[in-house]
Structure 1
Amino acid sequence: MGKFIISKRTNDDYQFNLKAVNGQVILTSQGYNSKAACENGIESVKTNSKEDSKFERKTSSNGKPFFNLKAGNGQIIGTSEMYESESGRENGIESVKNNAPDASVEDETNK
Structure 2
Amino acid sequence: MGKFEIKTTNSGKTMFNLKAGNGQVILTSEQYNSKSACENGIESVRTNSQNDDRFERKTAKDGSPYFNLKASNGQVIGKSEMYSSTSAMENGIASVKKNAPDADVDDNS
TM-score scaled by length of structure 2: 0.99
Aligned to 2:108: 108
Deviation at 1:105, TM superposition (A): 0.4
Deviation at 1:81, TM superposition (A): 0.1
Distance 1:15 1:61 in 2: 26
Letter in 1 for 2:42: I
Q: Does residue 28 of the first structure (1) align with residue 28 of the second (2)?
A: yes
Tell me how large the CA RMSD over aligned residues is.
Answer: 0.4
Q: Which secondary structure state, in structure 2, belongs to the residue aligned with residue 12 of structure 1? A: coil
Letter in 1 for 2:29: S
1:57-101 CA-partner distances (Å, limit 9, x unpaired): 000111100000000000000000000000000000000000000
Q: Which secondary structure state, in structure 1, belongs to the residue aligned with residue 27 of structure 2? A: strand
1:14-62 CA-partner distances (Å, limit 9, x unpaired): 0000000000000000000000000000000000000000000000111
**How many equivalent pairs are there?**
109
Letter in 1 for 2:97: K
Aligned to 1:86: 86
Distance 1:59 1:27 in 2: 16
Distance 1:88 1:8 in 2: 29
Distance 1:13 1:64 in 2: 28
Distance 1:62 1:102 in 2: 34
| Alignment of structure 1 residues 55-66 onto 2, 5 Å | 55-66=55-66
